Structure 1
Amino acid sequence: MQEEELIDGKVDWRGRTAVRHKHGGMKVSLLVLGAFAFENMATLSLAVNLVSYFIGVMHFDLAGAANMVTNFAGVSYILSIVVAVIADTWIGRYKSVLISGFIECLGLVLLTIQAHRPNLKPALCNPTDITSVCEKVKGKQEAFLFIGLYLLAFGSAGLKACLPSHGADQFDERNPKEAKQMSSFFNGLLLALCIGGSVSLTFNVWIQDSKGWDWGFGVSAIAIACATILFASGLSLYRIHVAQKANAIIELLQVYTAAIRNINLPLPADSEDLYEIEQDKEAAMEIEFLPHRNTLRFLDKAAIKANDVQLEKQENPNPWKLCRVTQVENAKVILSMIPIFCCTIIMTLCLAQLQTFSVQQGFTMDRKITKNFHIPPASLPILPVAFLIIIIPFYDRICVPLLRKFTGIPTGITHLQRIGVGLVLSSISMAIAAIVEVKRKNVARDHNMLDAIPGLQPLPFSIFWLSFQYFVFGIADMFTYVGLLEFFYSQAPKGLKSTSTCFLWSSMALGYFLSSIMVQIVNRATKNHTASGGWLAGNNINRNHLNLFYLLLSVLSLINFFAYLFVSKMYKYRPQPQPQAPTVKGVDSQ
């Protein structure tokens, strides 16, 4: 009879210890990747086309619509932290995904109903007719819009928070083979995003523009339902992470509090004198142990044993006054990741412009592919997405193994090196965007079309010029965002795996919020220097100064990259779990 190797710390759906060849692994993670693909099929078209919905149906102005989109995206990513904490410390990741899928589907159903029923949205008007008054959505209609929109935001936040970490839970970092498979899984997440996104940017956008937004939201609701059902079908095959009894965030706060309380105590000369519970074989299976490192030494004060006699009498010392070395090391890891986190915010600020202003650029340009077919501006990102569908398997199956031979690193290059490459490319993408915008405005000026009506009077300038900035930024996505997911998951403590992957979504949220603030600051700072009342003021993009805004973002991104180089060199990777002797079912380990 074949011996069954148990996986410590993971259980099956009945609560029994998971078995390596029965639960988890690469094949099972495909269900998670499939669900992630459906989720992005539902939402990516909204990220790039909602600005058109807010302008055309809800009658916001350009800047207001752009801020609505970035605020919606920002709230969604911020809420992912809330769901992740609940998943890590209370209900678990599997249940969190199911609940989030239901909430997201409900939000899309409400938006479908509003888009279908005339009494739930503003009256139709003709924006090209000066005698027509387009009233912005307000009152009960606006309340209905926000309820549906932010139910969608909360559900999407939950799926983004828990799907990556649940998928990574299907692998054992202590097993060399599965550690390599985990790296492939994170690359597969971006591939799933691209496959789902390619459908979203073509079929979904076409539905939204040609059949109406009620059909568009309806198709997205069906996609989320499919994602939830597909994910739920793997219940009996998953390795399920058990929610931690101790709150990992509280444990971090205990370290910082204890370090402040003990600030006047001298550090011992020998780190062995710091407090740690006895590490025996049984405890090692249940509790995480990390060796002491000589970084951020001021936090070591949280583990100083001030009174050994009193400590011996206490089986459970006050955790707000005395913390384990492992607990302190986890706090060091989280604190040292914050500068890396901050350096990725600017990249999302750039991404927000490609999802808003670049789409509006596309409306002014020649979108003709054939005589009878015009590409929707919101579908333009399909070009880099299609390229990534090809390049990601090439990178994962050819580049990574080749780099692995030279570096000896399972992921080919380090997580921080991968992130840095993406940050450089984002700066280049914004520089290209500025150059293309200058050329587009020159065409409008040369043909006396500065006041041309977008969509009705296209410039003799192909929309495919915008593909260059999307193309470069798409490659930046592959390096930075996937690198961040893998970096945060691999470095985080056991009890904060879902929460740690939300660092990526949180940096994106702050980037979107910063975009809204940046647009307002730029308009106020430049209102007395431009005829339009600001670089980005008004609805006539031909008379705006979007090229200068893109150039500003390129310079900020470059400065941000140099700051990243400094903080990344200061970062010290946490010790990775060592391979352990397998626990075999039915065999005495002694």
Structure 2
Amino acid sequence: MDQGMETRKSSESEEVDDKKWVYDSSVDHKGRVPLRASTGVWKASLFIIVMDFSERLSYFGIATNLITYLTKAIHQDLKTAAKNVNYWAGVTTMMPLIGGFLADAYIGRFSTVLISSIIYLLGLSLLTMSHLIPSLKPCDMNPCHKPRKVHEVVFFLAMYLISVGTGGHKPALESFGADQFDDNHSEERKKKMSYFNWWNFGLCCGLLLGVTVIVYLQDYVSWGVADIVLSAVMASTTIIFFVGKPFYRYRVPEGSPLTPMLQVLVAAMTKRNLPYPSNPAQLYEVPKSQKTQGRFLCHTNKLKFLDKAAILEDNEDKENCLIGKQHRPWKLATVSQVEEMKLVLNMVPIWLTSLTFGLCMAQASTFFIKQSSTMNRKISRDFEIPPASIYSLTALGMIISVCIYDRILVPLLRSATGEERGIKILQRIGIGMVFSVLSMAVSALVERKRLRVAERELTQGGRTGSISMSVFWLAPQYMILGLGDGFTLVGLQEYFYDQVPDSMRSLGIAFYLSVIGVSSFLSSLLITIVDHVTEKGGRSWFGKDLNKSRLDNFYWLLAAMNGVNLCVYVFLARRYSYKNVRRGSESMA
């Protein structure tokens, strides 16, 4: 796609009486036709949310049942299958760091979504062929005891093509949707806060259908039929997204957002021996007339060593400042650039303390589902729900949480606290972390009960197959985790979009996704360490037979880790400084 499409006009006169947006057919200095606005920001967002619905339908339809496929079709043991699921989930949620960077710096968000959607569709098509083409099928026999090597190669190639597609799709699409709302327009700024809630509502709808309809097709019809449905939905929503092209607002890629940060570090190190000015107002900032995209940030007193990058060192710098001449970027940075660097550094502790929440999420798509496969899943005499469909309760919990928060809590909290969001973003994230501790504690209690039932019925009673304990005993832990997702996951999305510099918002969404990705890798590492330690102690917590494993102890370990982490997070959140944008003629000090 033409990179020139990625442009957006300033919002100096965007407020009109009827709050509707109008077209502006003027042409900018590069000959591009910028879109001032559409008939409504929600109309543009609807096309984008539909696109995300499709991607989440595919992702969760594949991810939640992946451990079942690896253990039953490819015949991997539980530990290997869980690690492979975590590796794939980790790569899938780390790839957005690359996709987000390219979207912000060079390709543009709209173009990145289209390109990644095509790659995603290629992965789904290859996955379909691995189940339908006779020479690529796992094997000719049913049941299949030893799958063909070519099937494994094609299967994992398709899976990691989907990872690459997700890498560009997720960060660019979500940030592109948020770009439709103007930060300088008070009403739209409030709508954008709701946008993240309703974005996740659409996500949960895709998740629900993925873990019910798609998983049912996989388990009781055919994996190939399920993949055909996913490919068709992805193709149709890609067309719908493209049809919405006239309604979108675009942003011009400004080159690598990491270069200005490196310039700040180099300038600060070069001037490290200079005395700090007595008044922060003496630090350098360009006139507003020279600012093209992005906003001016207020000076803060944290990480003051970086402020030296904005000190006017010699007469040449001062003369250039007076006459409005371009400054030397590797020698002199602006206050806004310095503050953007501070924003990114301040995010690191929050990112690190979010990882244990991701560890809990990783269990929902691995061990939780494997537990459900050993339990009674019958709804009636003739109908049995697929093991992965129990995951839908997480989406249900998240939908309930998001709706109550957006429709009830936010208006009440706005009146009570005066905060535009109701409560601060980090407070919302912290509330969700409390739910993660509760979820792991409940998981441990339920698993202990399941083990007692399994021992009584299978070991002592001689029963075969699943135990009589209903799969809906897992409902509380899924629901609690879903309620926590409605606070923490949505909060993390808003946090990493809102608190990063304006020029790297796709990369900000990628930072949020990397929390889940790194957590998946950490989950695999934790499983390996715990397996090694407990095996030396006599019996591994992760045996080949789930009914002889001790997942309850593992869940208690995660609950304890999350409890300690929550204390650290609260300590950091109470001292956090949020992005502070200068408006009008505010001073720097």
TM-score by length of 1: 0.90
Question: What is the DSSP-based 3-state SS (H/G/I as helix, E as strand, rest coil) of the residue aligned with 2:35?
Answer: strand
Residues 319-338 of structure 1, C-alpha deviation per residue, up to 9 Å, x if partnerless? 22321111000000111011
Shift of residue 286, structure 1, vs aligned partner: 4.3
Partner of 1:37: 53
Question: What is the DSSP-based 3-state SS (H/G/I as helix, E as strand, rest coil) of the residue aligned with 1:570?
Answer: coil
Partner of 1:18: 35
Shift of residue 89, structure 1, vs aligned partner: 1.1
Of 246, 252, 259, the residue aligned with 1:236 is 246
Shift of residue 397, structure 1, vs aligned partner: 1.8
Determine if the alignment matches structure 1 residue 561 to structure 2 residue 578: no
Partner of 2:554: 549
Shift of residue 93, structure 1, vs aligned partner: 0.5
Of 291, 294, 299, the residue aligned with 2:306 is 299
Q: 1:287 to 1:35 in 2, by over 3 A?
A: closer
Determine if the alignment matches structure 1 residue 522 to structure 2 residue 530: yes
Partner of 1:28: 44
Residues 371-382 of structure 1 correspond to what in structure 2 (within 5 A)? Answer: 371-382=381-392
Report the aligned-residue RMSD.
2.6
Residues 365-393 of structure 1, C-alpha deviation per residue, up to 9 Å, x if partnerless? 11111111111110002224234434433
Partner of 1:290: 297
Q: Which one is further off, 252-261 or 159-168?
A: 252-261
Partner of 1:425: 435
Of 507, 512, 516, the residue aligned with 2:515 is 507
Question: What is the DSSP-based 3-state SS (H/G/I as helix, E as strand, rest coil) of the residue aligned with 1:305?
Answer: coil
Q: What letter is aligned with 2:76? A: F
Q: 1:270 to 1:378 in 2, by over 3 A?
A: same
Residues 216-261 of structure 1, C-alpha deviation per residue, up to 9 Å, x if partnerless? 22222122212212211110011111211x4211111221222223
Partner of 1:486: 494
Question: What is the DSSP-based 3-state SS (H/G/I as helix, E as strand, rest coil) of the residue aligned with 2:395?
Answer: helix
| Distance in 1 between residues matched to 2:135 and 2:274, nearest whole Å | 68
Q: What letter is aligned with 1:70? A: N
Q: Tell me if structure 1 keeps the 8 A contact 2:375–2:470.
A: yes
Percent identical residues:
37
Partner of 1:336: 346
Shift of residue 408, structure 1, vs aligned partner: 1.5
Partner of 2:214: 204
| Distance in 2 between residues matched to 1:174 and 1:397, nearest whole Å | 24
Q: Tell me if structure 1 keeps the 8 A contact 2:21–2:40.
A: no
Question: For structure 1, which runs of at least 5 residues remain unmatched after alignment?
Answer: 581-590
Residues 404-423 of structure 1 correspond to what in structure 2 (within 5 A)? Answer: 404-423=414-433
Q: Which one is further off, 149-158 or 327-336?
A: 149-158
| Distance in 2 between residues matched to 1:340 and 1:395, nearest whole Å | 22
Q: Which one is further off, 490-499 or 262-271?
A: 262-271
Shift of residue 317, structure 1, vs aligned partner: 4.0
Q: Tell me if structure 2 keeps the 8 A contact 1:24–1:171.
A: no
| Distance in 2 between residues matched to 1:579 and 1:481, nearest whole Å | 33
Q: What letter is aligned with 2:48? A: V
Question: What is the DSSP-based 3-state SS (H/G/I as helix, E as strand, rest coil) of the residue aligned with 2:127?
Answer: helix
Q: What letter is aligned with 1:307? A: D
Q: Tell me if structure 2 keeps the 8 A contact 1:428–1:554.
A: yes
Aligned length: 564
Q: What letter is aligned with 2:559? A: S
Residues 198-231 of structure 1, C-alpha deviation per residue, up to 9 Å, x if partnerless? 1111110000001121112222212221221221
Determine if the alignment matches structure 1 residue 496 to structure 2 residue 507: no
Q: What letter is aligned with 2:35? A: A
Partner of 1:251: 260
| Distance in 1 between residues matched to 2:346 and 2:370, nearest whole Å | 39
Q: 1:351 to 1:207 in 2, by over 3 A?
A: same
Partner of 2:91: 75
Q: Tell me if structure 2 keeps the 8 A contact 1:248–1:495.
A: yes
Shift of residue 304, structure 1, vs aligned partner: 2.2
Q: Tell me if structure 1 keeps the 8 A contact 2:374–2:465.
A: yes
Partner of 2:231: 221
Shift of residue 492, structure 1, vs aligned partner: 1.6
Q: 1:286 to 1:344 in 2, by over 3 A?
A: closer
Q: 1:55 to 1:261 in 2, by over 3 A?
A: same
Residues 22-69 of structure 1, C-alpha deviation per residue, up to 9 Å, x if partnerless? 355122211111111121111112121011111222222111111111
Partner of 1:435: 445
Shift of residue 460, structure 1, vs aligned partner: 1.2
Q: What letter is aligned with 1:150? A: Y
Q: Tell me if structure 1 keeps the 8 A contact 2:399–2:486.
A: no
| Distance in 2 between residues matched to 1:203 and 1:573, nearest whole Å | 42
Shift of residue 266, structure 1, vs aligned partner: 2.2
Residues 161-215 of structure 1, C-alpha deviation per residue, up to 9 Å, x if partnerless? 1111111111111111111110111000110011111111111000000112111
Q: 1:568 to 1:6 in 2, by over 3 A?
A: farther
Question: What is the DSSP-based 3-state SS (H/G/I as helix, E as strand, rest coil) of the residue aligned with 2:375?
Answer: coil
| Distance in 1 between residues matched to 2:96 and 2:486, nearest whole Å | 21
Partner of 1:181: 191
Determine if the alignment matches structure 1 residue 362 to structure 2 residue 372: yes
| Distance in 1 between residues matched to 2:307 and 2:35, nearest whole Å | 36
| Distance in 1 between residues matched to 2:17 and 2:317, nearest whole Å | 52
Residues 132-182 of structure 1, C-alpha deviation per residue, up to 9 Å, x if partnerless? 9x44664x4433223211110111222211111111111111111111110
Shift of residue 528, structure 1, vs aligned partner: 1.7
Q: What letter is aligned with 1:526? A: T
Partner of 2:5: none
Question: What is the DSSP-based 3-state SS (H/G/I as helix, E as strand, rest coil) of the residue aligned with 1:18?
Answer: coil
| Distance in 1 between residues matched to 2:443 and 2:508, nearest whole Å | 32
Shift of residue 450, structure 1, vs aligned partner: 7.9
Q: Tell me if structure 2 keeps the 8 A contact 1:367–1:376.
A: yes
Question: For structure 2, which runs of at least 5 residues remain unmatched after alignment?
Answer: 1-15
| Distance in 2 between residues matched to 1:88 and 1:267, nearest whole Å | 34
Residues 250-295 of structure 1, C-alpha deviation per residue, up to 9 Å, x if partnerless? 1112212222232222211211222222x14x32454532221111
Of 346, 354, 363, the residue aligned with 2:356 is 346
Q: What letter is aligned with 2:517? A: A
